[in-house]
Chain A
Amino acid sequence: MTTSKKIVLLGHFGVGKSSLIRRFVENTFSEDYKVTIGVHISKKTIDTPDKKTISLIIWDLEGHDDVEKNRASYLMGTHGFIYVFDASRPVTFENLEDQLLILKTKYPNIPVKVVANKTDLVKKTEINQYNDIFKPLVDFYTSAKTGSKVDLLFSKLANELI
């Protein structure tokens, strides 16, 4: 029996939300940037370690610098959030703490995974200089381009949802 779960990706414009989904669902990557307008829905079925099948219905929302600017009805009934920022652009994680606080307040029981994407564009030393922000908040350092940690991110979240 397959269980379906709704996953919503949030974050600023151009942080790689759609690319992460494409890498996870189709295992492809494109350098061409196509802005997401409204919402795009994808689906991928995965098997969990305890032999359960879970169908992830992934809602890719258009980017906003503030989660409150997203259409509230798109966030209704979400089982898990993925908050994505671009590790190479500080402007996309400057308000990270506030954004996570809003999510925690409005959706107290919904798991949130925080993702630093585009790690292929930054050196480890550059990441280290933001450790004050990253260490306590970031769950995964991913690259949609190389595929690094993308599957792990979704499968970890899926396991939490069962």
Chain B
Amino acid sequence: MTQEEKLSIIKEILLTDEREFSASIDQKLQTLEDTINKRKNLAEKIDPLINDKIERFVKDIPKTLGPSITQALKEEIKNSQDAVVEALFPILGKMVKRFVQHEMKLLSEKINNQLNKAFSFKRFFGRTKSKIKGVKDADLILQESSNTNIEQIIIIEKGSGIVLAEHSKTKTIDEDMVAGMLTAIKSFVEDAFKKEKQDLQYIEYELYHIHLQNFSSYYIAVIVSGAYNVLYKDLLENRLLDFASKHITSQALKDKIKLTQKTQDYFKKYDNI
């Protein structure tokens, strides 16, 4: 064995480990670079840590931030009560309305259920009537039990608001003033909505309902007390249309005395329509 061969063997023995070590370091560095620079790899490693941290943060919010957020909100609400009321008012209004509608629906259903259980000839005929009219049975019951009365009928010229004829059981209001004001309100509403050929049809005033039946040159205002519902409106409309077709002509509109007499004669027999 020459001197050179001996040296080579010694080198081999001494440096092999170093080289292997260096190679393993290179390998580890490469893996680390891959992990840091490649999003997917980095996410795999870091995401669980972040999730864990967030989870702990969320859990701790009520303890750490809760009191200060509550305090800040309290202060804010206290300082801007008007704004809060302004913001909540429409929402509350809608909620109340929806609640009332829901309760009314429940009431109506309850009445229907009771009626379905109850059997009598009267209700049998009542149900037939409601089916023919296409009105709910419950509405019919309410209608029958309510005391709806025509208080006053005024035939009014469109535009001027002049009374063309009038019929009332007990004279409680000045028909000229009411006719004028109704005409002004009608004009205002119809102008304000800026829709052509649309008419105001109904006004509610405490216990009174003012039904407005519109014709071309005049309209009929019927002041009704008691329950005014779809069924009643339907009956009243039919009655007014029948009256108008039978008794109102352009000539008749010019004679207040005759038209008033005709109105009285026609509606006297229909206290409850």
Q: Which residues of A contact B (CB under 8 A)?
A: 1, 4-6, 38-39, 41-43, 55, 57, 59, 71, 73-74, 76-79
Asked if B188 is at the interface (CB within 8 A of a chain A CB), the reply is yes
User: Which residues of B163-209 have CB atoms within 8 Å of chain A's CB atoms?
Assistant: 163, 174, 176-177, 179-181, 184, 187-188, 190-191
Determine the chain A residues whose CB is within 8 A of the CB of B184 once the complex forms.
38-39, 41, 59, 74
Determine the chain B residues whose CB is within 8 A of the CB of A6 once the complex forms.
160-162, 180
Determine the chain B residues whose CB is within 8 A of the CB of A79 once the complex forms.
160
Asked if B137 is at the interface (CB within 8 A of a chain A CB), the reply is no
For the A-B complex, the count of residue pairs with Cβ-Cβ distances under 8 Å equals 54
Shortest CB-to-CB span from A126 to chain B, Å, is: 37
Q: Which residues of B contact A (CB under 8 A)?
A: 157-163, 174, 176-177, 179-181, 184, 187-188, 190-191, 256-257
Closest residue to B190 on the A side, CB-wise?
A73
Residue among B184, B188, B190, B191 with max Cβ neighbours from chain A (10 Å): B184
Determine the chain B residues whose CB is within 8 A of the CB of A39 once the complex forms.
184
Determine the chain A residues whose CB is within 8 A of the CB of B179 once the complex forms.
57
Determine the chain A residues whose CB is within 8 A of the CB of B177 once the complex forms.
41-43, 57
Complex Cα gap A43–B173 (Å): 13
Complex Cα gap A43–B180 (Å): 10
Shortest CB-to-CB span from B36 to chain A, Å, is: 76
Shortest CB-to-CB span from B183 to chain A, Å, is: 8
Q: Are A57 and B162 in contact (CB under 8 A)?
A: yes
Determine the chain A residues whose CB is within 8 A of the CB of B257 once the complex forms.
1
Determine the chain B residues whose CB is within 8 A of the CB of A73 once the complex forms.
159, 187-188, 190-191
Residue among B161, B163, B174, B190 with max Cβ neighbours from chain A (10 Å): B161
Complex Cα gap A57–B180 (Å): 8
Can you report 24 A-B residue pairs in the complex whose CB atoms are below 8 A from each other? Answer: A4-B163, A4-B176, A5-B162, A6-B160, A38-B188, A41-B161, A41-B181, A41-B184, A43-B180, A57-B162, A57-B176, A57-B179, A57-B180, A59-B184, A71-B188, A73-B159, A73-B187, A73-B191, A76-B158, A76-B159, A76-B160, A76-B187, A77-B157, A78-B160
Complex Cα gap A22–B259 (Å): 32
Complex Cα gap A39–B162 (Å): 16
Complex Cα gap A4–B162 (Å): 6
For the complex of A and B, the 3 pairs showing the least CB-CB separation, nearest first, are: A77-B160, A77-B159, A76-B159
Determine the chain B residues whose CB is within 8 A of the CB of A78 once the complex forms.
160
Select which of B160, B174, B256 is within 8 A of A43 by beta carbon.
B174
